Chain A
Amino acid sequence: MMRKQQTFSRGLSDKVRKSKAAPEIQKNPFEVKINRKKFDVLGRKSKHDVGLPGVSRSRAIQKRKDTLLKEFRLKDKNNTFIDRRFGEYDSKLTPEEKILQRFTLERQRTQDRKDMYNLNEEEELTHYGQSLAEMEKMTDVIDSDSDSEEKGLLSAELTATHFGGGGGLLRKKSAGDDEEEEHKPRSRQELIEELIIKSKQEKRERQTQKEEAQELTEKLDQEWKSIQNLLAHKTPKAERTDETDKPKLDQYDMMVRELGFEMKAQPSEKLKSAEELAREERQRLQTLEADRLKRMMGDAEEDAVQTNTHISADDMNDGFILDGDDRKTLAYKDGKWNIEGEEEEKEDEDGDEEGGEEEEEEDDEDDAEGEEDDEEGEDDDEDDADEDHCDLQSDEGSEDEDGQGAEEEQVCAEEPPAVSEEQKKAAQEAAKAELPYTFPAPESYSDLKQLLQGHGSEQQRLILDRTLKCNHPSLSAGNKAKLQKLFGFLLEYVGDLATQNPPDLRTVSALIPQICGLCQMFPEAACKAVQTLLSDSGHSMEETLEVKGRAPMPDLDMLVLLKITALLFPSSDFRHPVTTPAFLFLSQALTRCAVVSLEDVCKGLVLCCLALEYVSLSQRIFPELLNFLLGLLHLTVSDKHNMGYTVVSPFRRQGKSCDLLVLKDPNVSHSWNRKPISLQTAHRLPAQSPVERDHYRLSLIDSCLDLVKRCTWLYKDLPSYAHIFQPIRALLLKHLPVEGYPAPIQDLHREILDAIPEKPSQHAPLVFKKKKPIPLKLFTPKIVQILDYGKKRGNTKEEKERERLKHKYKREFKGALREIRKDTRFLAREKLSDVMSRCVKRKVKELYGSLATQEGEWKALKRKNRK
Chain B
Amino acid sequence: MAPSTDSNVKDENSQVSYKKDINTKTGRILQNKKHSNDIFDVIEYLQSEKDKEIIFATNACKRVFCQLFYRGDLYVGDLPQEEELMSGDRSAEEKYRIFMRHRYNNCVELLLENMGHEAFQVKEASLCALMKFVEAEGKHPLQNLDLIEHYIFPRDLFLSCTQTLVEHLLSTEEDMSLLISRFQEFLEMDDVRYYVMSSVRDNIYRVMGRNKKAVIPVYQNNVYTLLSNINVPSQGSKIKHFLVKQACKFALLPWYCPYKEHKRAFEQMWLLFLKFKLPSSMYKKILVILHESIMPQMSDPTLLIDFLSAAYDIGGAISLLALNGLFILIHKHNLDYPDFYKKLYSLLDPSIFHVKYRARFFHLVNIFLSSTHLPAYLVAAFVKRFARLSLTAPPTALLILLPFICNLIRRHPSCRVLIHRPSAPCDDPYVMEEEDPAQCHALESSLWEIKTLQKHYHPDVAKAAMKINEPLTEQEEEISEVLELSTFELMERDLKAERKTIPLEFDTATELLKSPREVLGVHFSLE
Contact = CB atoms under 8 A, between A and B. Distances in A.
Interface in B137-166: none
B495 A581 contact: yes
Contact of B453 (A538, A587, A614, A621): A621
Q: Chain B at the A interface: mostly helix, strand, loop or mixed?
A: loop
B415 interface: no
B491 A535 contact: yes
B395 A587 contact: yes
Nearest to B356: A549
Interface in B485-522: 486-488, 490-492, 494-495, 497, 499-506, 508-513, 515, 517-522
Contacts of B527: 505-506, 678, 680
A763 B448 contact: yes
Interface stretch (B102-110, B124-132, B322-330, B422-430): B422-430
A769 B470 contact: yes
Interface residues of A, number: 108
Given A616-B517, A723-B388, A760-B427, A516 B491 contact: no
Interface string A768-782: 110100000000000
A595 interface: no
Contact of B470 (A416, A568, A768): A768
Nearest to A609: B520
A768 B515 contact: no
Contacts of B420: 766-768
Contact of B509 (A288, A542, A567): A567
B451 interface: yes
Contact of B517 (A292, A549, A617): A617
A619 B503 CA distance: 19
A511 to B, nearest CB: 9
Contacts of B418: 766
Interface in A611-668: 612-624, 626-627, 646, 648-649
Contacts of A539: 488
Contacts of B287: none
Contacts, number: 261
B510 A414 contact: yes
B239 to A, nearest CB: 38
B427 A676 contact: no
B524 A764 contact: no
A125 interface: no
Contacts of B388: 723
B448 A627 contact: no
Q: Which of A539, A606, A623, A626 has the largest count of B CB atoms less than 10 A from its CB? A: A623
A765 B447 CA distance: 8
Interface string B374-409: 000000000000001001111100000000000000
A506 B418 CA distance: 54
Scoring B446, B488, B500 by chain A CB atoms within 10 A of each residue's CB, the highest score goes to: B488
B9 to A, nearest CB: 42
A56 to B, nearest CB: 69
A63 interface: no
A437 to B, nearest CB: 23
Contact of B452 (A517, A610, A724, A764): A724
A762 B488 contact: no
A565 B349 CA distance: 35
A341 interface: no
A626 B462 CA distance: 18
Interface in B429-466: 446-453, 455-459, 462
Contacts of B488: 538-539, 541-542, 588
Contacts of A613: 515, 517-520
Given A416-B511, A523-B504, A623-B392, A614 B427 contact: no
Central interface residue in A305, A527, A619, by most chain B CB within 10 Å:
A527
B265 interface: no
B471 interface: yes
A710 B523 CA distance: 12
Nearest to A531: B495
B511 A509 contact: yes
Interface residues of B, number: 76
A591 B394 contact: yes
B13 interface: no
Given A509-B512, A710-B519, A766-B421, A585 B491 contact: yes
Contact of A677 (B423, B452, B523): B523
B457 A621 contact: yes
A569 B459 contact: no
Given A584-B458, A706-B523, A764-B424, A564 B512 contact: yes
A569 B504 contact: yes
Given A583-B457, A648-B354, A677-B524, A762 B425 contact: yes
Contacts of B392: 623, 626-627, 648
A596 interface: no
A753 to B, nearest CB: 20
A800 interface: no
B350 A766 contact: no
B353 interface: yes
Contact of B448 (A304, A414, A542, A720): A720
A573 interface: yes
A787 to B, nearest CB: 44
Contacts of B509: 512-513, 516, 567-568
Contact of B505 (A567, A583, A592, A623): A567
Interface in A387-419: 407, 410-411, 414-416
A64 interface: no
B455 A568 contact: no
A646 B349 CA distance: 8
Contacts of A679: 524-526
A483 interface: no
B43 interface: no
B383 to A, nearest CB: 12
Contacts of A542: 486-488
Nearest to B509: A567
Given A295-B503, A591-B354, A766 B451 contact: yes
B503 A569 contact: yes
A648 B349 CA distance: 10
B519 A612 contact: yes
A298 interface: yes
A300 to B, nearest CB: 9
B501 A304 contact: yes
Contacts of B447: 766
B234 interface: no
A508 interface: yes
B351 interface: yes
A771 B470 CA distance: 8
B503 A573 contact: yes
B468 interface: yes
Contacts of A541: 488
Interface string B327-348: 0000000000000000000000
Given A680-B527, A769-B469, A410 B455 contact: no
Which among B351, B490, B506, B515 has the greatest number of chain A C-beta atoms within 10 A? B506
A519 B515 CA distance: 16
B148 to A, nearest CB: 57
24 contacts: A295-B503, A298-B462, A407-B508, A506-B527, A516-B508, A534-B491, A563-B512, A570-B503, A580-B458, A580-B494, A583-B458, A584-B458, A591-B394, A623-B394, A626-B392, A627-B350, A703-B524, A719-B449, A720-B449, A763-B446, A766-B468, A767-B422, A768-B469, A769-B470
Interface of B: 349-351, 353-354, 356, 388, 391-395, 418-428, 446-453, 455-459, 462, 468-471, 486-488, 490-492, 494-495, 497, 499-506, 508-513, 515, 517-527
Given A577-B495, A613-B515, 20 more contacts: A509-B511, A512-B511, A516-B508, A523-B502, A538-B488, A568-B509, A580-B459, A583-B457, A584-B458, A587-B487, A610-B520, A620-B455, A621-B456, A623-B391, A623-B393, A649-B354, A766-B419, A766-B450, A766-B451, A768-B471
Closest 3 CB pairs of A and B: A649-B354, A765-B446, A509-B512
